[in-house]
Amino acid sequence: PGMGKTSIALNMALTAAKKTSKAVVIFQLEMSAAQLAMRLMSSEALVDGKKLRLGTLGEDDWKRLAGASGRLTGMNILIDDNSNISVPEMKAKCRRLGDNLGLIIIDYLQLMQGSKRTDNRVQEVAEISRSLKIMAKELNVPVLCMSQLSRGPESRQNKRPMLSDLRESGSIEQDADVVLFIYRDDYYNPDTEKKNVAELIVAKNRNGEVGTIELQWMGQFTTFSTQDTVHDSPR
């Protein structure tokens, strides 16, 4: 938690919504639609999220917010904040959009409940993961699903996440076409030379290359920006 998984999801939502008129559907199980909308406004306007929440905005902030509000109004972003939603319910809601569906974002997998109640959480997460894979195929639309990690990285000297750190199920790694991790060195090392730098680690890519992309982390806006720096991962 705190590494920026919701922020990167919103970055991708905004990027997709700017490129297409098709709907970007966000299933947000952790926070309210109002909270998420505020995060979107902060990211798009580049206005300090804390100032936005407290209402302590300057004149320039208001101007940027007005511009961002107009742009967001023109984007087809739909937010569902039902915390108890199931995969079949997600599928039913998305089907109603027909061909007007461009991207599904789920934040996040470990908050979901499987259709079959079981005491085995690993099996339950595996069932959810598989159901999301089937949904993506049936709807013919990409599904971006956030996931928590285990505490594995905290016990290692190199705290960059690995595929084995995916929490509660190896089936996530198996089902996903692409697995992305976020790593910020300043999260663990306050004295690092890489302040406000995030590594977007492409740990799995079924149809392409793996590697690491450096992004700029703008914490006050809870968003990332590109640095146009790409490093190949070691083979």
CATH number (domain holding residue 103): 3.40.50.300
Q: Look at residue 218 and tell me if it is in a domain.
A: no
Both tokens of 35, joined, read 């909270």
Q: How many CB atoms lie within 10 A of CB 88?
A: 11
Do 88 and 128 touch, CB atoms closer than 8 A?
A: no
Q: Look at residue 55 and tell me if it is in a domain.
A: yes
Q: Look at residue 201 and tell me if it is in a domain.
A: no
Domain range for 36 is 5-176
Q: Look at residue 191 and tell me if it is in a domain.
A: no
Q: Look at residue 208 and tell me if it is in a domain.
A: no
Q: How far apart, in Å, do the first and last CA atoms of the chain sit?
A: 29
Q: Look at residue 231 and tell me if it is in a domain.
A: no
Contacts 24+ apart (CB under 8 A), 202-205: 202/178, 202/233, 203/161, 203/162, 203/163, 203/179, 204/163, 204/173, 204/176, 204/177, 204/178, 204/179, 205/177, 205/178
Both tokens of 109, joined, read 């997998």
Q: Look at residue 50 and tell me if it is in a domain.
A: yes
Q: Can you give the pLDDT of all 235 residues of the chain as single tens digits?
A: 678 899 999 999 999 999 989 999 999 999 999 999 999 999 999 999 999 988 899 999 999 999 999 999 999 999 999 999 999 999 999 999 999 999 999 998 888 888 777 778 788 888 899 999 999 999 999 999 999 888 777 788 888 998 988 866 678 888 999 999 999 999 888 899 999 999 999 999 999 999 999 999 998 898 998 865 444 544 3
Q: Look at residue 188 and tell me if it is in a domain.
A: no
Structural domain total, the chain: 1
Listed in sequence order, the residues at least 6 apart from 124 whose beta carbon sits closer than 8 Å to its beta carbon are 113, 114, 116, 118
187 preceded by cis ω (within 30°)? no
